[in-house]
Amino acid sequence: MLYGFHKVGDDLIGENTLKNFAENNVKTDLIGQCEESGSGVVSITVDKEGQNSFISMKGANAWLQPVDVEQSFEAISSAKIVLTEMEIDAETTLSALQVAKRRGYTTILNPSPGMCFLAEEFYRLSDIICLNGAEAERLTDSSVSGISEAKKTALVLLEKGSKNVIITLGKNGTVLASLKDKIPIHFPVTPVDPVDTTGAGDCFLGSLAFYLAHFPDLPLEEMIKRSNKIAAISVQSCGTQLSYPWKRDLPAELFS
């Protein structure tokens, strides 16, 4: 079961968001409506090569507080994976990671939108930190222009306290650095002709969380390979959520 945890405004965008989640089997019990602010929005542009850029505004998500985290986790007894990001206040994200670790859940942090600093506790509380090359550059003040640079940067992030660091590199695949084996691994992807890369990272993260929850005995390396394949499918269609494939439309071997 998938729960969303954030806030939307008491507006048309908020109403449509709740309706969309409900129609797609995302539990909305923990999503609050906020009168103090409108819903958060993202303005996205896509160039002729399918590459995207965006500006995001937190909106109602800025009103999500640590006390909301405590109350929401009390309502969930069957969670396995907690996937967090930084489009809410950092204090609230940190609180979610703290509570999740106390309860024994697997934690994933996606430090997006990109930032130049992340407190040490974020790394320590995250079983997996997953970010793209640009986000990795900002956090380490280093260049991630290719696979070799990504491997070096992943090790820098690993030294900050996380157990596993995944850097997604678009058409160049993915790099993993892990405490259990500090030799970074590169996972290439089959080339595709992208139509719209918006949301590809989120598709990868959602797929990874799915495998962690439903196929926990798979090696992390295999989860990454499969998540890469699903994300590659998503960039061949327009939109974000609209581009994400249904399980029924994916190859059966991804679920064996």
Question: Which member of 68, 127, 196, 202 is catalytic?
Answer: 202
Contact 170, 154 (CB under 8 A): no
One DSSP character per residue, 130-186 reads EEEHHHHHHHHTS---SHHHHHHHHHHHHTTT-SEEEEE-GGG-EEEEETTEEEEEE
| Rg, the chain, Cα only | 18
Answer yes or no: 202 catalytic. Answer: yes
Residue 95's alpha-carbon distances to 67, 84, 170, 183, in angstroms, are 9, 10, 30, 31
CB contact set of 47 (below 8 Å; sequence gap of 6+): none
| Residues acting as catalytic residues | 202
